[in-house]
Chains A and B, each alone.
Chain A
Amino acid sequence: MKNFDVRWLYVVLVLAILIPMLRPIGIPVKIGTWTKAVHEYMDKLNAGDVVLICSDYTAATENELGAMRDAIVKHLLKKNVKSVLIAFNSQGAPFSNKIVAMYGRAGKVYGTDMVDLGYLAGGEKALTSFFADLKRSTGKDVRGTATDSIPILKNIKTLSDIRLVIETASGVPGPAEYVRQAASYGTPLVFGLSSGLVSSATVYLQSRQAIGIVSGLQGAAEYEKLTGQIGYATSAMDSQSLSYMTYIAAIVLGNVIHFNSRRKPEPRT
């Protein structure tokens, strides 16, 4: 047992992910308090409110955060909420295209119901500049239209004029940067984060600097259940759950081998 080949665990992990994809189990998803808090707040938005959606994640986490983004945007469309899109991560900018396409399919008009302001380099400096003056810091949208002439931005100058900030992130800039820069404007913050970033963001929930966190693929599945729009995240939860069980099994097996080897001393040669 001491010479157990860990590659058998790799095989188990692959099967744990593949089998539920081919034959779904349908384990029910339980709603967590953090996701519920986000959903309840967004349910109170009114038609015509303008929110800021920031796509600050990389292509590597698109499968996780894309599902979350889709669930949230479907909720916004249901409430007829308008969106201003921006990215402070260079890889996040193309994901705004998907939000524009979702709005387009729902019959919304670009420039009036949503606008894509592209990517602004500079990390936290870009946040400072953008929140102080949304129009001047970008100058024009991705289609080359001057921000002064875009209808949705007509009454918007600073972050205070935005109803809610929805930040989707997998790295930097992340929750810490947004909390630091958005604090003086009083605009509520909601985070959609990859699982690895959640543990460092929970501090902002207790201090009420953020309303809630949609955490990884599980958070996306919970949000899909709350909005009644079952999608990719829910279908992937069976695979995720079984893969988590594989990790638990690996930990247990590792400890069994460890205690077994401690109990049986090596034979003297």
Chain B
Amino acid sequence: MRKELPVLLGSLIAAIVILDYYIKHPTVQAVAKEVIDWGILMSAFALVLASVNLLRKHARAVIRREKNSPYSFILLVLLISMAFFGITQGSKSTVFTWLYDNVLQSVSPSIYASVAFYLLSAAFRTFRARNLDATLLLLSAGLVLVGRSTIGTLTWDGFSWLAEWLLAVPNAAASRAVLIGAALGMVSTGIRLLTGIDRAYLGSE
């Protein structure tokens, strides 16, 4: 019963949400909406859980003076201060907004921008015409880069058209294949979860 009850509950809730898609009856819609609202509450709680986990991990690192504990200390200071001001004064308060605009919004793009150098190094080392496949990849990457730049379109109008065609036709075809594959995978996983064949989410014995 310990394992059968959660599986039964999961299947029942999923059935309600699936029925809501096909049966537009007020009662079904109301029940499905309530179920989804509970799901949203649990997602919000998961955010809190993740923050608490982060807090514990880095607090332990600071207390034990592990190798990167100074960085853990900075993380804790920022995490606690943003949470404190956000909860007590609201996310539109002056202090919270200042921390968001001057810390998160400065540091995040800087870290993101460093990816440009990794990409440059990767472009130099890996985009080599070793065989036909690699050459086609290299040519399409080059055409998209040129087509998406103002210098390229200034040189020849066709580069812009080529870049859009590459993204809209071959790339879209491959994306569709991936999407359909992923959707079929999701359906298969869903059926396995709903029928209790896959019980990995129940945890170990």
Flag the segment in B54-62, B65-73, B102-110, B187-195 that touches A: B102-110
Chain A residues 100 to 156 lying within 8 A of chain B, measured CB to CB, are 118, 120-123, 125-126, 128-129, 132-133, 137, 142-143
Q: Which of A125, A246, A255 contacts B43 (CB 8 A)?
A: A125
Given contact pairs A59-B100, A122-B43, A206 touches B168 in the complex (Cβ within 8 A) = yes
Contacts of A120 in B (CB 8 A): 40
Q: Which of B40, B123, B141, B154 contacts A28 (CB 8 A)?
A: B154
Q: Assess whether B40 is in contact with A255, with CB atoms less than 8 Å apart.
A: no
A58 to B112, CA, bound (A): 11
Q: Assess whether B108 is in contact with A58, with CB atoms less than 8 Å apart.
A: yes
Interface size class of A (residues with CB under 8 A): 35 or more
Q: How far is the CB of A201 from chain B (nearest CB, A)?
A: 8
Majority secondary structure of chain B interface residues (helix, strand, loop or mixed): helix
Flag the segment in A46-54, A75-83, A89-97, A161-169 that touches B: A89-97
Q: Assess whether B150 is in contact with A30, with CB atoms less than 8 Å apart.
A: yes
A168 to B159, CA, bound (A): 27
Contacts of B168 in A (CB 8 A): 202, 205-206
Q: Assess whether B151 is in contact with A241, with CB atoms less than 8 Å apart.
A: yes
Q: Assess whether B175 is in contact with A142, with CB atoms less than 8 Å apart.
A: no
A13 to B97, CA, bound (A): 33
Chain B residues 13 to 53 lying within 8 A of chain A, measured CB to CB, are 29, 33, 36-37, 39-40, 43-44, 47
Majority secondary structure of chain A interface residues (helix, strand, loop or mixed): helix
Q: Assess whether B105 is in contact with A59, with CB atoms less than 8 Å apart.
A: yes
Q: Assess whether B148 is in contact with A255, with CB atoms less than 8 Å apart.
A: no
Please, what's the 1-or-0 string for B170-184, where 1 marks a CB less than 8 Å from any CB in chain A?
A: 011001100100000
Contacts of A246 in B (CB 8 A): 120
Please, what's the 1-or-0 string for B97-141, where 1 marks a CB less than 8 Å from any CB in chain A?
A: 100110011001101100011011101111111100000001001
A46 to B127, CA, bound (A): 49
Contacts of A143 in B (CB 8 A): 92
A255 to B104, CA, bound (A): 39
Q: How far is the CB of A88 from chain B (nearest CB, A)?
A: 10
Q: Which of B90, B121, B150 contacts A29 (CB 8 A)?
A: B150
Question: Is B9 an interface residue when CB atoms closer than 8 A count as contact?
Answer: no
Q: Assess whether A218 is in contact with B40, with CB atoms less than 8 Å apart.
A: no
Q: Assess whether B40 is in contact with A93, with CB atoms less than 8 Å apart.
A: no
Question: Is A60 an interface residue when CB atoms closer than 8 A count as contact?
Answer: yes
A224 to B11, CA, bound (A): 50
Q: Assess whether B145 is in contact with A248, with CB atoms less than 8 Å apart.
A: yes
Q: Assess whether B109 is in contact with A255, with CB atoms less than 8 Å apart.
A: no
Q: Assess whether A133 is in contact with B33, with CB atoms less than 8 Å apart.
A: yes
Question: Is A41 an interface residue when CB atoms closer than 8 A count as contact?
Answer: no
26 contacts between A and B (CB under 8 A): A9-B121, A27-B150, A30-B150, A30-B160, A32-B164, A59-B100, A60-B108, A62-B109, A90-B47, A94-B97, A94-B101, A122-B43, A125-B39, A125-B43, A126-B43, A128-B36, A198-B167, A199-B171, A199-B175, A240-B149, A241-B151, A242-B151, A244-B148, A244-B152, A254-B127, A254-B128
* 3 A-B pairs with the lowest CB-CB distances in the bound complex, closest first: A122-B40, A60-B112, A60-B108
